[in-house]
Chain A
Amino acid sequence: MKKQHSTRLWTVLSVLFATFLVILMAGYTIAYSYETLINATLGLKNYEVVDSGDDTTSADYYTAKFTTAEAIHENSAKVSEEVEAEGLVLMMNNGALPLAKDGLKVSLFATGSVNINNSVQGMRGGVGGAQDSAASLPTLKDALEELNVAVNPTLWDFYRTGAAASYGGEKRLNAANNIQTYYINEAPWSVYDSTIRSSFAEYGGAAIVVITRDDTEGADLNVYGSDGKDGNYLALSQEETELLQELTKLKASGTFSSIIVLLNEAPAMQMDFLQNEKIDVDAYLWIGNTGMTGIRAVAKALVGDVVPSGRLADTFVYDNLSSPAMAAWALNTNMVFSSAYRAPELNNTQDFYGVYNEGIYVGYRYYETRYADVVEGAVGAGDYAYTDTVAFPFGSGLSYTSFAYSDMQVKEAADGKTYEVTLTVTNTGDTYSGKEVVQIYLQKPYTEYAIQNGIEVAAAELAGFAKTGVLAPGASETVTITVEKEDFASYDTYGAETYILDAGDYYLAAGKNAHDAMNNILAAKGFGTADGMDADGDASLAWMTTVAELDTTTYAVSSETGAAVTNRLAFADPNRNVGAGSNLVTYVSRNDWEGTWPESAIALTITPEFLEELKSDKEPESVGTLPAMGEQNGLTLIMLRGKDFDDPDWDALLDEMTYEDMNTLLSTAYCITAQISSVAKPQTNEMDGPTYCKEGKTDSRFPCEGIWAGSWNPEMLYLVGEALANDCLFVGYNGMWIPGINMHRTPYGGRAHEYFSEDPYLTGKCVQAEIEGIQAYGVIAYPKHFIFNDQEANRNGVGIWLNEQAAREIFLRPWKYACGITRGNAHGVMSSFNRAGNIWTSASDGLINGILREEFGFNGIIITDMADANGTVYMSCVDGIMAGTDIWLSSGKDHSFMAYRNNASVVNAMRAACKRVLYNVVNYSAVMNGYKASTQIVRVMTWWEVALRAALGVFAALTLLSLVMLKKAYKKA
Chain B
Amino acid sequence: MDNNNKKSASGAFAACLLLIAAARGALELFLYIKDGRTSFDPNYSMYAIVGMGVGIFLALVGLVSRLRTFYFLAYLAFLYAFIHYVVSQVNLIANILYGVDGSTFPTVFYVTIAASFAACLFALIAGIVKKPRVAVSE
Binding site for B on A (CB under 8 A): 7, 11, 14-15, 18-19, 22-23, 25-27, 29-30, 173, 178-180, 218, 347-349, 794, 796, 868-870, 872-873, 894, 970, 973
Q: Are A25 and B80 in contact (CB under 8 A)?
A: yes
Residues of chain B lying within 8 A (CB to CB) of residue A173 = 99, 102
Q: Are A18 and B72 in contact (CB under 8 A)?
A: yes
Select A29's contact among B39, B47, B76, B127, beta carbons within 8 Å.
B47
Select B79's contact among A22, A30, A347, A894, beta carbons within 8 Å.
A22
In the assembled complex, the Cα of A869 lies from the Cα of B84 at a distance in Å of 18
Residues of chain B lying within 8 A (CB to CB) of residue A11 = 132
Query: Of B11-19, B87-95, B111-119, which stretch is located at the interface?
Result: B87-95
Q: Are A26 and B102 in contact (CB under 8 A)?
A: no
In the assembled complex, the Cα of A593 lies from the Cα of B106 at a distance in Å of 46
Q: Are A870 and B40 in contact (CB under 8 A)?
A: yes
Closest to A346 in B: B39
In the assembled complex, the Cα of A873 lies from the Cα of B37 at a distance in Å of 10
Q: How far is the CB of A556 from chain B (nearest CB, A)?
A: 42
Q: Are A180 and B41 in contact (CB under 8 A)?
A: no
| Chain A residues touching B, majority SS | mixed
Select A18's contact among B76, B84, B94, beta carbons within 8 Å.
B76
Residues of chain B lying within 8 A (CB to CB) of residue A19 = 76, 79
Q: How far is the CB of A115 from chain B (nearest CB, A)?
A: 22
Q: A15-B127, A179-B102, A218-B100 are in contact. Are A873 and B132 (CB under 8 A)?
A: no
Q: A29-B47, A869-B91, A973-B134 are in contact. Are A23 and B99 (CB under 8 A)?
A: no
Of B39, B80, B84, which is in contact with the most chain A CB atoms at under 10 Å from its CB? B39
Residues of chain B lying within 8 A (CB to CB) of residue A868 = 91
Closest to A876 in B: B42
Q: Are A970 and B39 in contact (CB under 8 A)?
A: no
Residues of chain A lying within 8 A (CB to CB) of residue B47 = 26, 29
In the assembled complex, the Cα of A657 lies from the Cα of B80 at a distance in Å of 35
Q: Are A870 and B39 in contact (CB under 8 A)?
A: yes
Closest to B104 in A: A178
In the assembled complex, the Cα of A348 lies from the Cα of B124 at a distance in Å of 39
22 A-B residue contacts at CB 8 Å?
A: A15-B75, A15-B124, A19-B76, A22-B80, A22-B83, A23-B83, A25-B80, A26-B83, A173-B102, A178-B102, A179-B102, A218-B100, A218-B101, A869-B91, A870-B95, A870-B100, A872-B40, A872-B91, A873-B39, A873-B40, A894-B41, A894-B91
Residues of chain B lying within 8 A (CB to CB) of residue A30 = 83-84, 87
Q: How far is the CB of A965 from chain B (nearest CB, A)?
A: 14
Q: How far is the CB of A838 from chain B (nearest CB, A)?
A: 16
Q: Are B101 and A794 in contact (CB under 8 A)?
A: yes
In the assembled complex, the Cα of A973 lies from the Cα of B133 at a distance in Å of 11
* Extra pairs beyond A348-B39, A872-B39, A970-B134 (15, CB < 8 Å): A11-B132, A15-B75, A18-B76, A19-B79, A22-B79, A26-B83, A26-B84, A29-B47, A173-B99, A173-B102, A348-B103, A870-B40, A870-B95, A873-B40, A894-B43
Closest to A14 in B: B72
Q: How far is the CB of B9 from chain A (nearest CB, A)?
A: 18
In the assembled complex, the Cα of A90 lies from the Cα of B80 at a distance in Å of 63
Q: Are B87 and A180 in contact (CB under 8 A)?
A: no
> What 1/0 flags go to B19-54 for Cβ under 8 Å of A?
000000000000000000001111100010000000
Q: Are A349 and B39 in contact (CB under 8 A)?
A: yes
Q: How far is the CB of B49 from chain A (nearest CB, A)?
A: 13
Residues of chain A lying within 8 A (CB to CB) of residue B103 = 348
Q: How far is the CB of A667 from chain B (nearest CB, A)?
A: 13
Residues of chain B lying within 8 A (CB to CB) of residue A178 = 102
Residues of chain A lying within 8 A (CB to CB) of residue B134 = 970, 973
> What 1/0 flags go to B58-87 for Cβ under 8 Å of A?
000000000000001001100110011001
Residues of chain A lying within 8 A (CB to CB) of residue B95 = 869-870
In the assembled complex, the Cα of A162 lies from the Cα of B69 at a distance in Å of 66
Select A347's contact among B39, B87, B132, beta carbons within 8 Å.
B39
Residues of chain A lying within 8 A (CB to CB) of residue B39 = 347-349, 870, 872-873
Closest to B134 in A: A973
Residues of chain B lying within 8 A (CB to CB) of residue A14 = 72
Q: Are B42 and A180 in contact (CB under 8 A)?
A: no
Q: How far is the CB of A313 from chain B (nearest CB, A)?
A: 28
Of A18, A26, A218, which is in contact with the most chain B CB atoms at under 10 Å from its CB? A26
In the assembled complex, the Cα of A23 lies from the Cα of B78 at a distance in Å of 11
Q: How far is the CB of A865 from chain B (nearest CB, A)?
A: 13
Q: A25-B80, A26-B84 are in contact. Are A869 and B94 (CB under 8 A)?
A: yes
In the A-B complex, the 5 residue pairs with the smallest Cβ-Cβ separation, listed nearest first, are A26-B83, A347-B39, A22-B76, A873-B39, A178-B102
Select A894's contact among B42, B72, B83, B84, beta carbons within 8 Å.
B42
Residues of chain A lying within 8 A (CB to CB) of residue B80 = 22, 25-26
In the assembled complex, the Cα of A870 lies from the Cα of B99 at a distance in Å of 12
In the assembled complex, the Cα of A894 lies from the Cα of B43 at a distance in Å of 7
Residues of chain B lying within 8 A (CB to CB) of residue A22 = 76, 79-80, 83
Residues of chain B lying within 8 A (CB to CB) of residue A872 = 39-43, 91
Q: How far is the CB of B10 from chain A (nearest CB, A)?
A: 14
In the assembled complex, the Cα of A19 lies from the Cα of B95 at a distance in Å of 30
Residues of chain B lying within 8 A (CB to CB) of residue A27 = 83
In the assembled complex, the Cα of A870 lies from the Cα of B39 at a distance in Å of 7
Residues of chain A lying within 8 A (CB to CB) of residue B101 = 218, 348, 794, 796, 870
Q: A15-B127, A179-B102, A218-B100 are in contact. Are A873 and B42 (CB under 8 A)?
A: yes
Q: How far is the CB of A682 from chain B (nearest CB, A)?
A: 29
Closest to B51 in A: A26
Q: Are B100 and A23 in contact (CB under 8 A)?
A: no
In the assembled complex, the Cα of A349 lies from the Cα of B101 at a distance in Å of 11
Residues of chain A lying within 8 A (CB to CB) of residue B94 = 869
In the assembled complex, the Cα of A941 lies from the Cα of B103 at a distance in Å of 39
In the assembled complex, the Cα of A849 lies from the Cα of B94 at a distance in Å of 33
Q: How far is the CB of A724 from chain B (nearest CB, A)?
A: 26
In the assembled complex, the Cα of A543 lies from the Cα of B42 at a distance in Å of 60
In the assembled complex, the Cα of A872 lies from the Cα of B132 at a distance in Å of 48
In the assembled complex, the Cα of A348 lies from the Cα of B39 at a distance in Å of 7
Q: How far is the CB of A759 from chain B (nearest CB, A)?
A: 30
Q: How far is the CB of A304 from chain B (nearest CB, A)?
A: 45
Select A180's contact among B43, B79, B102, beta carbons within 8 Å.
B102
In the assembled complex, the Cα of A26 lies from the Cα of B47 at a distance in Å of 9
Q: Are A970 and B132 in contact (CB under 8 A)?
A: yes
> What 1/0 flags go to B114-137 for Cβ under 8 Å of A?
000000000010010000101000
Q: How far is the CB of B83 from chain A (nearest CB, A)?
A: 4
In the assembled complex, the Cα of A349 lies from the Cα of B38 at a distance in Å of 11
In the assembled complex, the Cα of A25 lies from the Cα of B41 at a distance in Å of 22
In the assembled complex, the Cα of A30 lies from the Cα of B84 at a distance in Å of 8
Q: How far is the CB of B129 from chain A (nearest CB, A)?
A: 12
In the assembled complex, the Cα of A178 lies from the Cα of B84 at a distance in Å of 31
Q: Are B91 and A15 in contact (CB under 8 A)?
A: no
Closest to A895 in B: B43
Residues of chain A lying within 8 A (CB to CB) of residue B79 = 19, 22-23
Q: How far is the CB of A497 from chain B (nearest CB, A)?
A: 37
Closest to B95 in A: A870
Residues of chain A lying within 8 A (CB to CB) of residue B83 = 22-23, 26-27, 30
In the assembled complex, the Cα of A491 lies from the Cα of B47 at a distance in Å of 54
In the assembled complex, the Cα of A25 lies from the Cα of B50 at a distance in Å of 14
Q: How far is the CB of B103 from chain A (nearest CB, A)?
A: 7
Q: How far is the CB of A864 from chain B (nearest CB, A)?
A: 15
Residues of chain B lying within 8 A (CB to CB) of residue A347 = 39
Residues of chain B lying within 8 A (CB to CB) of residue A870 = 39-40, 91, 95, 100-101
In the assembled complex, the Cα of A14 lies from the Cα of B41 at a distance in Å of 35
In the assembled complex, the Cα of A970 lies from the Cα of B100 at a distance in Å of 56
In the assembled complex, the Cα of A30 lies from the Cα of B48 at a distance in Å of 12
In the assembled complex, the Cα of A751 lies from the Cα of B86 at a distance in Å of 32
Closest to B78 in A: A22
Closest to B37 in A: A873
Of A7, A14, A22, A218, which is in contact with the most chain B CB atoms at under 10 Å from its CB? A22
In the assembled complex, the Cα of A19 lies from the Cα of B94 at a distance in Å of 26
Residues of chain A lying within 8 A (CB to CB) of residue B75 = 15
Closest to A218 in B: B100
Of A23, A173, A894, which is in contact with the most chain B CB atoms at under 10 Å from its CB? A894
